[in-house]
Amino acid sequence: MTISPLKIGPLEIWPPVLSAPMAGYTGGVYREILREHGCPYCYTEMVSAKGLLHGGDDSEEILLHADDDRPLAVQIFGYEPESMAEAAAMLSRPERGFQAIDINMGCPARKITSQGSGGALLKDVSLAGDIVRAVRDSSRVPVTVKMRLGWEDSSGAVRFAQRIAASGAHMIVVHGRTVSQGYSGKADWKAIEGIASEVPVPVVGNGDILSAREALERLERGPCAGVMVGRAILGNPVFFEDLTALLRGEQPEEYTPQTKMRLAKEHFERSIERYGERRGLLEMRKQLVHYFRGMRGAARLRETVLREKSPEAVVRFLEEGWRAYQ
């Protein structure tokens, strides 16, 4: 099957592989690194529509991005059509620099669903449709939705997606688990593909894609117009270089421990420069452990990094100290 660019309103994304929005991981620093390695489309971490409108949280900081971090979608969450529409109107102004507004209808975190947002919207297709319509009417840029298969089961997933599309969504991303599953079990790609076959807008599949080769295979089999990758890109910004190589018919370069540690050090130093030593160190602890995946002595590498209390010590470890565990 021929792979085509992903169309989101007037946008054309090539290759049609998106970086997932992941709270605490896909902030501006890591997005910049992903872009340098070929990522064609990113999202901000999700922000609260109410928090953005009324202040008092870190929404504005999350929204900061470099001029060349584009095309970039801003992901918002909430449960009131009015506040979601107001936030979308604000965020779609040209000076904000976003190319799409994404509505989170899949987050399984209790602090989000308990207020009726995120995955909780899957229980109310009428309200979900009203939110999409309100956001679409107020936005100057394309509107997309990220959803799951349902709250407890996937029996209403196609109907939900069709309602979202009819309400004005330009694209739908479907994560192949229910909200009650969280991140357990396996993503149901049969259900994702069933939705893609029944919805008149592009559908992007998401869940358990572990490599660039697997992303390409999903695209080749259809009917999804694109795929979204989450955990597989953490500690692995070369994912998109691998994908580009495969699309050219070439073999991706080996992701060696030396390359991992070089990129981890670069990521760490950028984080310290952006956020300062204390916050940068805290922010990076959870990021660095992903660079150790697949390495010999990964558990001991993680323990060592988590014990370090100074940026200088972490840099020395990423330069040379890690070799003692190989």
Q: Is the dihedral of CA 52, 32, 14, 224 positive or negative?
A: negative
Short-list 69, 87, 57, CA closest to 27: 69
DSSP-H helix ranges across 37-72:
49-54, 59-63
Residue 57 to residues 53, 61, 144, 176: CA-CA distances in angstroms? 10, 9, 24, 31
Q: Which of 294, 231, 283 has the alpha carbon at shortest distance from 261? A: 294
- Helix axes 277-291 and 257-275, enclosed angle (nearest 10): 160
**CA distance linking residue 19 with residue 76, whole number of Å:** 16
Q: How far apart are CA 9 and CA 100, in angstroms?
A: 9
Q: Is 195 helix (H, G, I), strand (E, B) or coil?
A: helix
Alpha helices in 139-211 (DSSP H): 157-166, 189-198
Helix (H) or strand (E) holding 203: strand 203-206
Pull the structure tokens for residue 130. 């009203």
Q: Which residues contact 303 (CB under 8 A, 6 or more apart)?
A: none
The catalytically annotated residue of 39, 42, 107, 224 is 107
Phi-psi region of 42 (alpha: psi -120 to 50; beta: other; left: phi over 0): beta
107 assigned to active site:
yes
Q: Which residues are identified as catalytic? A: 107
